[in-house]
Amino acid sequence: MAEAWLIVGLGNPGPKYADTRHNVGYLVIDRILAGQTRVRTEASADGVRYTIAGPGGGELNLLKPLTYMNASGVAVREAAGNLGIPSDRILVVYDCLDLPLGRLRLRRGGSSGGHRGVESVIAELETSGFLRLRVGIGRPDCETIDYVLASWSSTERAVVDRAVDVSAQAAMCVAERGIDAAMNSYNGQTAESESPARESTTGDQT
C-alpha cells in the first residue's frame, strides 16, 4: 500500500488574517481541496486536518495549524505523531520574503531562514529534515511584520492566484513522484510561467 503523507500549510486562523501574505500556505491547502469530492475532516484545538485519497492509493493528509504562526509546530507534531508519519514525508508550505513574488522553491531540510513558523516546526519535531515548499512574496521596504500581515495588493492578486495553483500542483507532485522529481519540475518556476522551469536540484538551498 502507498505511504501516507502530511502536507502542512502555514498561516494564522480567523478572518482577520485570511487574505494576508503570511497565509499563503493556507491558500495552497484550500486549492488542493478544491474539487475534492471525498474529504474527511478532523479538528482539534491545535489544527484542522483533511484526509483525501493520495496518489497510488495512499492517504494524503492536509493540515492547517490553528496555533498561530509562531506555534505552528505544536499542530504539526500532534498530527505527525498521531498518523505515524516521519519527517521525510512531511511537506511544509509557507511564504518566503527572500523569493520574488510568485517564485517557487522546493527543498529538503535546512534552516528556518528566519521564518518563525518553520522555526516552531523544527523545534517541535526536533529535526529540520522535513520537506519545504516556499512561495515567494517578495521583500518590502516597510517593516516585515506589517508587510506579511497585510492583504495582497490589487496588482499582486493575479500573480498570487497562479502561484497558489502551481504550488498545489507541486505539492501533489511531491506526494506522487517524490521530492527530487518535484524539484526538477517546479524549482524556479514563477507564477507567470506557462510551464515549469528546469533548474538544478543541487543549487541554492537557502
Query: Which pLDDT tens digit goes with each residue over 157-170?
Result: 999 999 999 999 99
Q: What is the pLDDT of residue 32?
A: 97
Report yes or no on 56 lying in a domain: yes
Q: Is 115 a catalytic residue?
A: no
Asked if residue 58 is part of any domain, the answer here is yes
Active-site choice (21, 22, 89, 115) = 22
Evaluate whether residue 35 is within a structural domain. Answer: yes
Q: What torsion, rounded to 10 degrees, do the Cα atoms 133, 51, 54, 200 define?
A: 0
> 199 in a domain, yes or no?
no
Structure confidence at residue 192 (pLDDT): 62
Distance CA 112, CA 90 (A): 15
Residue 201 located in a structural domain? no
Q: What is the pLDDT of residues 78-124, one digit of tens each?
A: 999 999 999 999 999 999 999 999 999 999 999 999 999 999 999 99
- Domain presence at residue 20: yes
CA dihedral 185, 54, 79, 180 (to 10 degrees): -20
pTM of the model: 0.91
Tell me the β-bridge partners of 133: 93, 106
In a domain, 108, yes or no: yes
205 found inside a domain:
no
Positions of the chain with pLDDT lower than 50, given as ranges: 193-206
The residue segments making up the domain with residue 121 are 5-186
Q: What is the pLDDT of residue 190?
A: 83
**Contact residues for 91 (Cβ-Cβ < 8 A; gap 6+):** 5, 6, 7, 8, 130, 131, 132, 133, 171, 174, 175
Cα–Cα distance, 147 to 37 (Å, whole number): 36
Which CATH number is 139's domain given?
A: 3.40.50.1470
pLDDT score for 33? 97
Domain count of the fold of the chain: 1
Single out the residue of 171, 141, 189, 188 nearest to residue 10, CA to CA: 171
